[in-house]
């Protein structure tokens, strides 16, 4: 291969360039070639694919600790700026210590670069490298590392941005960085080949990084093409997170598996490989040596730093109400609906791939059902909340149908009227708060007979007990029914078969004011509709022979058995 061919390959192929040109200091303090590990190769492939298809890179990278993605990104941007004219790289960190650490890494790259590849250097200090010479005939490129509270971005042009551990950037820092984002060309063709990589471990289910991540996930779910790609790397993908086991040790581990460990052994890594017993051994070893902070168990703290899914990463670094591992076990019981559709003008079910109603079990003769409904609040706009409803079989306790839609309250009431009649005149529990009254009014006008009624004290009638239609959500009633859902999810006895329902359980948290609800930017309508439906199920008459355990658990409701009556 000619010298020019070698130069060309170094310039165009980072995976070839890195182990031959870059040096890093490994965990034992040795200076060694930078050979990309599996996680780095995975991220590199996805980033190069986006660069090829889109022409530029915008990536969110969510990772466990110590997988080396900062090492990869700094090496990539050193490669970019040292091989191209007039390029600027800006690395932003959350603290001075992190800034100094990353820049030492870059200086190590530069100082140990082969003479053939090292660019002329006009400036080299503790914060920047400038690739140029005194005559101004060099590359005129530069590499800067700053903390996120620096006033950067105004009056400059950057082409490669790396936000390191950006989930920990403060709000004021993010305001400063808005100027930095504007330093990146946004007009074609200048935008081409620019890169923004936002990389971090998780810091709770809120904040800028979480919002960016969920925005991409929502776009993919809705069939839209997102601006950013999401790259998640599970800890199980790193070969170093495994301990060799003897036959006896492996047998002991397999005989003492927890539910979480059983789930892990079914988990498939991004390259198609399975989690090994050696991974389980390392996990047990690591958890045993963790000193967990106040409010965390050792296992919870492990999951914060070493997640195996993106949901686990965000939830275990936040204040989720439902255990992620329990929700994951519940997901194993989910399966695709057998039909989907809506009701026509005459109340007949019609199959339709875009219909709001998903069906796992059609109504059966002689079976009784209950329905819980949560009605969307707020102005009826495109970005309003959804209305949601769940149907539960009273004999089996299984979720048999689910509705998720954006309908005006009266139209939602008409839909529920047809749904209830379709499922053998199911007992209907509709949330009475806010727009729920419009739904209940529609159901009454449609002469729907089986509406849930609650007992309450009437101050205008000497505090006598009276019956009122609809489920009333108060702080007290919400805590009770949600705490009950926690119990049945924990005991693997929820009856939920809809994956979308369980996805909202992951975002349901204790909020800053101490109340229960979805984290900002997410929804909890499916959580509430299922909670109300399950409350109807607990109090509804049914064949108890097959569901004794569920009835004993209950959801701690408000005298539901006595409160449910039929409107006659």
pLDDT, tens digit, for every residue of 107-146? 999 999 998 889 999 988 877 899 999 999 999 999 998 8
Pairing of strands 229-232, 349-351: unpaired
CA–CA gap between residue 388 and residue 410 (Å, rounded):
14
Q: Please provide the average confidence, as pLDDT, over all residues in the chain.
A: 85
Confidence of residue 554 (pLDDT cuts 50, 70, 90): very low
For position 512, what pLDDT does the model report?
65
Q: Identify which of 117-126, 337-346, 428-437 has the greatest average pLDDT.
A: 337-346
- The SS3 assignment for 101 reads helix
Name the pTM for this structure. Answer: 0.68
Higher pLDDT, 384 or 276: 276
- Which tokens is 453 given? 């009624």
CB-facing half-sphere around the CA of 117: CA atoms within 13 A: 23
For position 13, what pLDDT does the model report?
94
For position 294, what pLDDT does the model report?
59
Q: Say yes or no to pLDDT of 204 above 80.
A: no
Q: Is 178 exposed, middle or buried (0-12, 13-18, 19+ CB in 10 A)?
A: exposed
Q: Which of 73, 79, 145, 85 is nearest to 118 (CA)?
A: 79
CA–CA gap between residue 484 and residue 539 (Å, rounded):
14
Question: Stretch 526-555: mean pLDDT, rounded?
Answer: 66
In what side-by-side order are the strands of the sheet with 128-131? 123-124, 128-131, 141-147, 88-93, 160-164, 195-200, 57-62, 229-232
Helix axis angle, 247-255 to 277-288, nearest 10°: 70
pLDDT tens-digit map of 10-68? 999 999 999 999 999 988 889 999 999 999 999 999 999 999 999 999 999 998 888 88
pLDDT tens-digit map of 353-400? 989 999 999 999 999 999 999 998 755 444 567 899 999 999 999 999
Q: Is 552 exposed, middle or buried (0-12, 13-18, 19+ CB in 10 A)?
A: exposed
Q: Say yes or no to pLDDT of 460 above 70.
A: no
For position 544, what pLDDT does the model report?
41
For position 492, what pLDDT does the model report?
86
Q: Say yes or no to pLDDT of 325 above 90.
A: no
Q: Which of 532, 530, 535 is nearest to 560 (CA)?
A: 535
CA–CA gap between residue 42 and residue 99 (Å, rounded):
25
Helices (H), 38-151: 38-54, 69-81, 96-111
Q: What percent of the chain has pLDDT over 90?
A: 51
């Amino acid at each position: 291969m000619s010298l020019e061919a070698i130069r060309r390959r170094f310039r165009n192929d980072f995976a070839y360039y890195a182990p031959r040109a870059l040096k890093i200091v490994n965990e034992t303090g040795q200076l060694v070639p930078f050979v990309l590990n599996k996680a780095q190769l995975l991220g590199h492939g996805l980033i190069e694919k986006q660069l090829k298809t889109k022409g530029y890179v915008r990536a969110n990278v969510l990772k466990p600790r110590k997988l080396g993605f900062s090492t990869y990104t700094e090496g990539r941007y050193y490669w970019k700026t040292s091989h191209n004219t007039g390029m600027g790289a800006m690395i932003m960190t959350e603290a001075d210590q992190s800034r100094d650490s990353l820049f030492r890494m870059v200086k190590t790259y530069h100082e140990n670069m082969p003479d053939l590849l090292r660019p002329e250097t006009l400036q080299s200090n503790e914060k920047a490298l400038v690739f140029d010479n005194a005559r101004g005939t060099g590359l005129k490129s530069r590499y800067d590392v700053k903390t996120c509270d620096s006033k950067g971005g105004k009056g400059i042009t950057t082409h490669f941005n790396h936000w390191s551990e950006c989930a920990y950037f403060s709000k004021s820092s993010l305001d400063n960085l808005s100027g930095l984002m504007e330093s990146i060309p946004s007009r074609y063709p200048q935008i081409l080949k620019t890169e923004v990589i936002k990389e971090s471990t998780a810091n709770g289910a809120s904040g800028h990084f979480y919002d960016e991540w969920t925005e991409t996930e929502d776009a993919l779910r809705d069939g839209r093409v997102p601006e950013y790609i999401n790259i998640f790397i599970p800890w199980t993908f790193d070969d170093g997170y495994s301990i060799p086991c003897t036959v006896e040790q492996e047998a002991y581990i397999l005989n003492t598996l927890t539910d979480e460990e059983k789930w892990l052994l079914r988990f498939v890594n991004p390259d198609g490989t399975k989690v090994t017993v050696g991974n389980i051994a390392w996990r047990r070893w690591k958890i045993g040596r963790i000193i967990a902070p106040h409010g965390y168990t050792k296992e919870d703290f492990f999951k914060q730093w070493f997640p195996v899914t993106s949901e686990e990463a965000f939830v275990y670094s936040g204040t989720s109400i439902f255990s992620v591992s329990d929700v994951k076990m519940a997901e194993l019981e989910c399966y695709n609906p057998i039909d989907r559709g809506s009701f026509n003008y005459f109340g007949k079910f019609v199959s339709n791939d875009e219909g709001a109603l998903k069906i796992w079990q059609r109504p059966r003769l002689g079976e009784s059902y209950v329905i819980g409904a949560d009605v969307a609040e707020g102005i009826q706009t495109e970005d309003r909340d959804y209305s949601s409803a769940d149907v539960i079989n009273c004999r089996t306790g299984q979720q048999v149908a689910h509705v998720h839609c954006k309908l005006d309250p009266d139209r939602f009431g008409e839909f529920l009227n047809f749904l209830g009649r379709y499922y053998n005149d199911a007992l209907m529990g509709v949330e009475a708060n806010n727009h729920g009254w419009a739904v209940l009014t529609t159901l009454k006008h449609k002469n729907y007979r089986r509406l849930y009624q609650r007992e309450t004290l009437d101050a205008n009638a000497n505090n006598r007990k009276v019956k009122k239609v609809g489920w009333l959500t108060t702080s007290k009633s919400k805590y009770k029914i949600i705490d009950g859902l926690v119990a049945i999810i924990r005991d693997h006895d929820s009856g939920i078969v809809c994956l979308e329902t369980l996805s909202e359980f992951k975002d349901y948290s204790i909020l800053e004011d101490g109340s229960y609800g979805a984290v900002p930017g997410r929804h909890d309508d499916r959580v509430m509709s299922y909670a109300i439906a399950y409350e109807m199920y607990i109090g509804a008459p049914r064949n108890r022979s097959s569901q004794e355990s569920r009835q004993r658990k209950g959801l701690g409701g408000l005298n539901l058995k006595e409160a449910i009556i039929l409107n006659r």
